[in-house]
Amino acid sequence: MDAYRKDFPAINQSINDNKLVYLDSAASSQMPTSVIDEVARYQMNDHANVHRGIHTLSHRATMVYEKTRQDLSDFINAKNTNEIIFTSGTTESINLVAQSYCRPKLNKNKKILISHLEHHSNIVPWQIVCEQTQSSLEIAPINNKGEIITEDLISMIDESVVLISISHVSNALGSVSEVKKIIQAAHKNGVPVLVDGAQSIPHIKVDVEELNADFYVFSGHKMHAPTGTGILYGKEDLLEKMPPYKSGGDMILEVKFTGTTYNDLPYKFEAGTPNISGIAGLGAAVGYLRKIGMINIESHEKNLLDYMSSELKNVDGINLIGNADNKIGVQSFTLENIHSHDIGTILDHQGVAIRTGHHCAMPVMEFFGISGTARASLALYNNKEDIDCLVAGLHKVNEVFS
Amino acid sequence: MANLKSDKADITKLYKELVIKHASNPYNFGSLKSDAVRSTGINPLCGDKLEIYISTHNDTIKKIRFEGVGCAISIASASMLTEILKDTSISEAKKIAWSFISELSSNRELSENDFIKNNKELSILCAVKDFPTRIKCVNLSWQTFLSAFDDDIKITSTE
C-alpha cells in the first residue's frame, strides 16, 4: 500500500521541521492528486450550473454531477440513482431524515432510539425533533469495551419507535456496531434504521442492500473527497413519501402562486445550487477507492491498527480507551496526569497530527469518566513508520512532563 | 512539497521552563468561602472549566484562588494569574488582564515599561502566540477573571 502514499501531496510535507505524520483522517482525510486534479479540471473547463442551462458547459457540469451519483450508487450497491441524495455532509443528511421522515410521524407516544456511542450530529438533530414533537429520545447502553450492547438495544425496540439511528463505526473509539443484526431485529418490528456511515465508508466495503439499511449517510471529506459533500442514501419507497426538507430552485416541477409541484427523486431534496466542484471531486475519490479495492484497504488498515494498539501499550502511563472486539480505523487513549491537548501540542511539535478532546462525543467521554482523549486515526496512506513516530512522540511527551 | 523552515518557539521549552512548574503544583488552587466573588469560565471546545474566587477589601484583591480541570497550559496560566493579581488594586488587575489578553492577539512590540515585558513569567508565556490553537487555553482564566467584575456576575455575601 505504500505505493499509494505518493498520491497524496499533503502527506509529503514537513511540519515544525519534522516529516508530517498524519493520524487524523477520522476528522478529515487527505485527498489524492486525482481528486484535486478533477476539481481543478472541472473549475477550469466545466464550471456552470446543473440541470438549468442548455449550453455546453451546463450540460458538462450536469454530466459530471450525475456521473458521481451513478458512481456512488454502484459503490454502495444502491438499487438506482434515485436513492442517492447529495447533501453537505453526514450532519445535513441526518437533519434531513429527522425533519422530513421522522417529524411528521412523531408525537408524545413515539420515540427515536439511538445509542450512547453516537457523535453529536447523531444526537442533537434527534433532541431537536423530539422537542418539537414532544416525543422521547431513548439511549441504548454501551459496555466498558465501548461497544453498543446489541441485546439491550434490541430489547428497547417496539412499535412506538419511529426510527433507530446508530453509527456503523464509532468516531471516538472505532467500535464497529452489529448493524445487520440490529436492522433485522428492527425490521421484525416494522422499525426502519438509519446507519451513520461517516467512519465506515473510507475503511470497509459498504453494501446497503446486504445490510438492508433504510437510510445510510456519510461525508465526502472522510473518504478523500472535498469538504462540503455528503450523501443520504434512502430506500426509494421511503424517500418517495417524504416531503422536501429545504425548498428553492431545482426541487420543483412547476411553481405558481396557487401552489408548487415538487420535482421527482432525487432532485426533490436538492434545493439550491449544489457543491458541484466538490461532487466532481467526490466522484474521483470513489474512483480512486474502487481502483485500490476496499478489501485491500480494510486488510491494510486492520494490520496497522493491530500494530498501533500493541505498540501504544509500550508507552508509560497509557490507557487505551475503547477495546471493542471489532474495531477499525482509530485508537483513543489517555496518558496518566497529562491532558490530551498537551499531548496534541507536543506531538504537533514533532510533526505528528492527532485529534484531542471529546471528539464531538461528550456522552462517550462521560461514560468513561474523562474529559477527553487523544485519538490517532488511520487511512490507506498510513504505514508502520507513522505509528513508530507516534510512539516516539509519546515517549517525548512523557519526558517533557517528567 | 512544502518544507518551510519553522521559526516558531520551541513548545517543549515553554512546557519545561514554565508550564509544568505551575501545572504540577499550582499556586492558590482551591476555593474561597462565600464572601468571595466567584466567576466561572468554560472553554466549550475542549470542555475545560475554571472557577475563580476573588476576595477584596478596600478595592484591593486580598485573596484569589481557582479550581477546575484543564490542560497544563490553562492551569499554569491560572496559577500565574493568581500570583500576579494578588494584592493589586481591582483597577490595576483589570488593566493587567486586558493588556495581557490583547497582547496574546497582537503583533505589537511591547514598550520597555510594559508590565508584561517586565514580568518574566508572563513574557515567557507569551510564546504561546506561536501556537494559535492554544491561545484560548491561556486566555480562559484571564477572561474569567475579568467577567467577575461584570454586572451579571453573582456575588455571594454573608454580610
DSSP of A33-61: HHHHHHHHHIIIII-S-TTT--SHHHHHH
Alpha-carbon distance of B106 to B123, in angstroms, equals 14
Q: Which of A195, A189, A230 is nearest to A211 (CA)?
A: A195
CA distances from A291 to A64, A199, A284 (A): 19, 20, 10
Q: Which of A284, A329, A280 is nearest to A75 (CA)?
A: A284
Alpha-carbon distance of A314 to A387, in angstroms, equals 12
The model's confidence at residue B8, banded by pLDDT at 50, 70 and 90, is low
Q: Which of A112, A64, A99 is nearest to A229 (CA)?
A: A64
pLDDT in tens, A267-287: 999 999 999 999 999 999 999
Checking if the pLDDT of A380 tops 80, the result is: yes
pLDDT in tens, A59-78: 999 999 999 999 999 999 99
By the 8 A CB rule, do A230 and A92 touch?
Answer: yes
Q: Compare CB distances from A371 to B8, B11, B69 and report the shortest one's residue.
A: B69
Identify whether B53 is part of a domain. yes
Q: Which of A164, A163, A139 is nearest to A152 (CA)?
A: A139
Instruction: Check residue B44 and give its pLDDT.
Output: 76
The model's confidence at residue A378, banded by pLDDT at 50, 70 and 90, is very high
Task: Say which range, A5-9, A161-165, A183-187, B56-60, has the weakest mean pLDDT.
Answer: B56-60
| Cβ under 8 Å to B: A residues 5-64 | 9, 12-17
Q: How far is A347 from chain B (nearest CA, A)?
A: 10
Alpha-carbon distance of A39 to A89, in angstroms, equals 18
Give the chain A residue nearest B5 (alpha carbons): A17
Among A48-52, A72-76, B55-59, B133-137, which range has the highest average pLDDT?
Answer: A72-76
Cell matching residue A176: 464497529
Q: Sketch the domain layout of chain A as residue ranges.
A: 2-24+293-400, 35-291
Number of residue pairs across A and B with CB atoms under 8 Å?
Answer: 60
Share of chain A above pLDDT 90, in %: 92
With 0-12 / 13-18 / 19 or more C-beta atoms within 10 angstroms meaning exposed / middle / buried, residue A72 is buried
Instruction: Count Cβ atoms below 10 Å from residue B92 Cβ, excluding itself.
Output: 14
Which positions in chain A touch B76 (Cβ < 8 Å)?
Answer: none
Contact B16 A362 (CB under 8 A): no
Share of chain A above pLDDT 70, in %: 100
Task: Say which range, A66-70, A87-91, A244-248, has the weakest mean pLDDT.
Answer: A244-248
Cα distance from N-terminal residue to C-terminal residue, chain A:
38
Identify whether B88 is part of a domain. yes
Start-end of H helices in B32-89: 72-85
DSSP secondary structure string, A362-374?
Answer: HHHHHHTT-S-EE
Cell matching residue A105: 410521524
Q: Give residue B123's identity as a one-letter amino acid code.
A: S
The model's confidence at residue B2, banded by pLDDT at 50, 70 and 90, is very low
Instruction: Check residue B18 and give its pLDDT.
Output: 86
Please give the CATH number for the structural domain made up of A2-24+293-400: 3.90.1150.10
Among A165-169, A251-255, B13-17, B135-139, which range has the highest average pLDDT?
Answer: A165-169
Bridge partners of B38, per DSSP, are B53
By the 8 A CB rule, do A175 and A324 touch?
Answer: yes
Catalytic residues of A, which ones?
Answer: 360
Same-fold call for A2-24+293-400 versus A35-291? no
Contact A341 B69 (CB under 8 A): no
Give the chain A residue nearest B10 (alpha carbons): A349
Q: How far is B9 from chain A (nearest CA, A)?
A: 10
What is this model's ipTM?
0.81
Quick one: average pLDDT of A136-145?
Answer: 98
Q: Give residue A235's identity as a one-letter amino acid code.
A: K
A381 conformational bin, left if phi > 0, alpha if psi -120 to 50, beta if neither: alpha
A393 in contact with chain B, both atoms CB, cutoff 8 A:
no
Residue A397 in 3-state DSSP?
Answer: helix
Instruction: Check residue B4 and give its pLDDT.
Output: 45
Task: Say which range, A59-68, A354-363, B22-31, B39-48, has the weakest mean pLDDT.
Answer: B39-48
By the 8 A CB rule, do B84 and B96 touch?
Answer: yes
Checking if the pLDDT of A140 tops 80, the result is: yes
Q: Compare CB distances from A349 to B5, B12, B47 and report the shortest one's residue.
A: B12
Pairing of strands A373-377, A230-234: unpaired
With 0-12 / 13-18 / 19 or more C-beta atoms within 10 angstroms meaning exposed / middle / buried, residue B91 is exposed
Identify whether B113 is part of a domain. yes
Identify whether B5 is part of a domain. no
Q: Which domain holds residue B27?
A: 11-147
Quick one: average pLDDT of A322-332?
Answer: 96
How many structural domains are present in chain B? 1
Class of domain A35-291: alpha beta
Task: Say which range, A212-216, A318-322, B4-8, has the weakest mean pLDDT.
Answer: B4-8
Contact A16 B46 (CB under 8 A): no
Checking if the pLDDT of A257 tops 50, the result is: yes
Alpha-carbon distance of A393 to A50, in angstroms, equals 48
Instruction: Check residue A187 and give its pLDDT.
Output: 98
Mean pLDDT, chain A, rounded, equals 96
Cell matching residue B134: 492554544
CATH number at residue B136: 3.90.1010.10
Instruction: Check residue B152 and give its pLDDT.
Output: 57
